[in-house]
Amino acid sequence: MNKKSYIIILVMLATALRLVALEPQEAVNRFVAHSSLRYASVGVQVIDLDSAKSIASYRPEQANITASTMKTVVSSAALGLLGPHFRFETPVYLDGKVDGDTFTGTLVVRGLGDPTLGSVFLPCQANIVDEITSALRARGIKRIVGQIYCDDSYYAYPYFDEDWDVGDLAYDYGAAVHGLCFHDNLVTLSYTLDGRGRVSRSSANPPVPGLKVVSRCRPSRSRNAITPYMNYSMPGMVLTGETTAKSYRNTYANPTPAPMLADSVMRALRTWGIEYQDTTIGEADVERSLLVLHKSPELTEIITSLLDRSDNMFAHALLRAIGAREWELRGQSSMPSDLDVIGVGAVKRWLELQGIDTDPLFMRDGSGLARANKAPVSFFGDMLTMMADRRFDGVRLCDLMPKAAGRAGNTLKENPLSDRIVLKSGSMRHVQCFVGYYPAEKPRYAFAVLVNNFTCSQASIREQIGVFLCNLFEGK
């Protein structure tokens, strides 16, 4: 037997020895006794859904950072408040006059908070750019004299939640929620820094007119360590750190999605042979007509996508949609700068109407990106119990949650249980959390595991939690 085969057998034996069917509290006790959790803040709760009672727990009332498990909270409230068939709408207007095959005026795309416009993650949805060009051709319009205006004014600044870390705003996971979103509010930037650390060349894909890349990097002979920061007032990316003369290519948050969409429409017009003459038109004798009413996929498809990919922008857009609904129900129109606070209040009120105590819920955003988001596992236990068989026109939360698959380590991934457990993970620096159900098709148990400040690697703590879930549900 060679050395490699011997090691594989030892690993398999070790896995088999630690995977045993345990009583729920014994499984919890074994998990929390691990040396990497000696100084950690840990909360664990397992609920028997038939009795709606906890059958195993550890520090159930201790509030911990939730990370992306917060997405289950906003998804649940969105199902209840917006409805499973809710669709975002984005109207496109012609403000002006059509004379023969010429439109003179402004083509207006009115953003109303739809996070899915042009999303690469929902490729089967209608493409708003194609809808616009098709509608113009259907009206026989071959020439536009005026402007393309993508209206981003629906949400007030700031477009990001004020509890988000400023260091997160430049990265793809820190994309903000605008009144008009496009292409997941992401842009791929390619840039070259010269020997002085300055930008010698930059480009954006898709193009974003007006977007700048500024370097404040120090030149280095051998070290490349760049940190990007978002500057919304510029707008653009500011690079700091050290660099050699080098080219870079990365995907970042796009601070101005509206110009990206306007440019995309303009290029599509030219592709289809519709002449576009960009010029300022007076407001006299303006007539408004609806050209296109774009509709997003249904809420259930949006939630399925955001829970599977843990999309912060999609999730926070749902919170803002809930807040906007609340604001409009009060008879208000112009959205306030504290819309996120209004959305959180509406979520909590809905949960309270379902019998859930929200005093332990410290909610700041819809995504979990803010480290100020905290809750005890007892809160998640109550919410998951309430949502376990709650149907919204036949749809349950568990139907929209992803299977465990490889989200909680290799041991669970290779176990048949991985296809029968649905869960939402949440992770950030020194934080790893999971909430979910077993079995997926007809849940009998709900569970929540929130771990903060562990001393092992992220991969190791995921593996430990995966082993815990195997021990917990083996044979059940």
| Tens-digit pLDDT profile for residues 354-393 | 999 999 999 999 999 999 999 999 999 999 999 999 999 9
Find the mean pLDDT for residues 430-457.
Answer: 97
pLDDT at 430 > cutoff 90: yes
pLDDT at 8 > cutoff 60: no
Tokens of 377: 């596992």
For residue 10, what pLDDT is reported?
A: 38
Find the mean pLDDT for residues 140-145.
Answer: 97
For residue 9, what pLDDT is reported?
A: 41
Band of pLDDT at residue 332, cut at 50, 70 and 90: confident
Least confident of 10-19, 44-53, 392-401, 428-437: 10-19
Least confident of 39-43, 279-283, 291-295, 355-359: 279-283
Give 91's DSSP letter: E
Band of pLDDT at residue 12, cut at 50, 70 and 90: very low
- Which residues face 108 on adjacent strands? 93, 149
Classify domain 19-84+300-473 at the CATH class level: alpha beta
SS3 204: strand
Q: For residues 43 and 450, is the Cβ–Cβ distance under 8 A?
A: yes
For residue 476, what pLDDT is reported?
A: 84
pLDDT at 1 > cutoff 60: no
pLDDT tens digits for 167-184? 999 999 999 999 999 999
Peptide bond into 439 cis (omega under 30): yes
pLDDT at 33 > cutoff 50: yes
pLDDT at 419 > cutoff 60: yes
For residue 286, what pLDDT is reported?
A: 76
Side chain identity, residue 383: M
Domain ranges of the chain: 19-84+300-473, 88-297
Closest CA to 264 of 131, 355, 167, 170: 131
For residue 361, what pLDDT is reported?
A: 98
Placement of tokens 């195993």 in the chain: 56
For residue 2, what pLDDT is reported?
A: 54
pTM (two decimals): 0.93
Q: For residues 155 and 335, is the Cβ–Cβ distance under 8 A?
A: yes
For residue 46, what pLDDT is reported?
A: 98
DSSP class per residue in 45-61: EEEETTTTEEEEEESTT
Residue 33 CA to residue 53 CA, distance in Å, equals 24
User: Can you say how many angstroms the Cα of residue 98 is from the centroid of all Cα atoms in its chain?
Assistant: 41
Tokens of 296: 């997003």
Residue 438 CA to residue 425 CA, distance in Å, equals 15
Beta-carbon neighbour count of residue 285 at 10 Å? 9
pLDDT tens digits for 314-327? 999 999 999 999 99
Tokens of 218: 């120090």
Residue 363 CA to residue 212 CA, distance in Å, equals 34
For residue 93, what pLDDT is reported?
A: 98
Residue 106 CA to residue 285 CA, distance in Å, equals 12
